A and B are shown apart, each in its own frame.
Chain A
Amino acid sequence: GAVVSQHPSRVICKSGTSVKIECRSLDFQATTMFWYRQFPKQSLMLMATSNEGSKATYEQGVEKDKFLINHASLTLSTLTVTSAHPEDSSFYICSAKVAPGSPLHFGNGTRLTVT
């Protein structure tokens, strides 16, 4: 079945550094991928929609200069958290659809801890 792979699964970084998270669709092409963020015991909040070959669409309140999204190919989207701060510590999850109308398939998420 469809698989979305996310890497790394865990990352610890120091405040002020940048962290890149990769999301790959392993057996299908995804022109659109979605990035979510989940705080402990809270819902998944859509951060942005990543579009292959064009700029990402960010949700209200999400800083596009802080959360850089690049979707350079049909199987890879990256989220870079720039100048990370402790409040950026969270669980980041990417997702993609195999085909229009199909459910979203999620990666396993990345636990980011900023010290």
Chain B
Amino acid sequence: DQQVKQNSPSLSVQEGRISILNCDYTNSMFDYFLWYKKYPAEGPTFLISISSIKDKNEDGRFTVFLNKSAKHLSLHIVPSQPGDSAVYFCAASFSGSARQLTFGSGTQLTVLP
């Protein structure tokens, strides 16, 4: 049972426009969410996170939105740059558990010049 889902395996966006990557989760116990970026043959790199007590967190060009009632989070990248082309994973965890992150299946973002 996939507790963290990224339903779009790929997304193409024109340079300078906004990229919106979506993620849904089913476990209401999750209270901490993260986005990671991954290039081929490399490990994931942490991008941005959000706690369930917030509904928005912004860091430069990256903004994560959390809608707890819908169990949905999204990552906005604006403006998108060709160097943003990578696979983006959302991940979730919940406090009090020995388990660590549960990852979504990833979305391949391609930013077209």
Partner of A42, one of B41, B99, B105: B105
Cα–Cα, bound, A46→B42 (Å)? 17
Given A103-B49, A108-B41, A111-B41, the answer on whether A43 and B103 have CB atoms closer than 8 Å is yes
Is A77 an interface position by the 8 A CB rule?
Answer: no
- Given A43-B105, A43-B106, A103-B49, A34:B44 Cβ within 8 A: no
| Interface residues on chain B, number (Cβ under 8 Å) | 21
B100 touches A43 (CB 8 A): no
Residues facing A in B68-87 (CB within 8 A) are none
- Which A residues lie within 8 Å of B9 (CB)? 41
Closest to A2 in B: B46
Known: A43-B89, A103-B34. A93 touches B101 (CB 8 A): no
Q: In the complex the two chains form, is A107's CB within 8 Å of B43's CB? A: yes
Instruction: Mark each residue of chain A from 36 to 59: 1 if its CB lies under 8 Å from any CB of chain B, else 0.
Output: 000001111110010000000100
Annotate A101-115 by CB proximity to B: 1 below 8 A, 0 otherwise.
Answer: 001111111010000
CB of A25 within 8 A of chain B? no
Q: How many residues of A contact B (CB 8 A)?
A: 23
How far is it, in angstroms, between the C-alpha of A95 and the C-alpha of B46 when the chains are bound? 11
B-facing residues in A74-89 (Cβ within 8 Å) = none
B24 CB to closest chain A CB (Å) equals 14
Provide the A17-46 mask, 1 if CB < 8 A to any CB of B, else 0.
000000000000000001000000111111
Cα separation A111 to B43 with both chains bound (whole Å): 11
How far apart sit A57 and B89, CA to CA, in the bound complex (Å)? Answer: 24
A70 part of interface (Cβ distance < 8 Å): no
For A69, list chain B residues within 8 Å (CB). none
Residues of B within 8 A of A91 (CB): 41
B4 proximity list for chain A (CB < 8 A): 43
- Which residues from A are CB-within-8-Å of B105? 41-43
Q: Which residue of B lies closest to A93 (CB)?
A: B43
Which of A41, A45, A106 meets B44, CB within 8 Å? A106
Q: Which residues of A contact B (CB under 8 A)?
A: 4, 6, 9, 34, 41-46, 49, 57, 91, 93, 95, 103-109, 111
The 3 closest A-B pairs by CB, nearest first: A106-B43, A103-B46, A43-B103
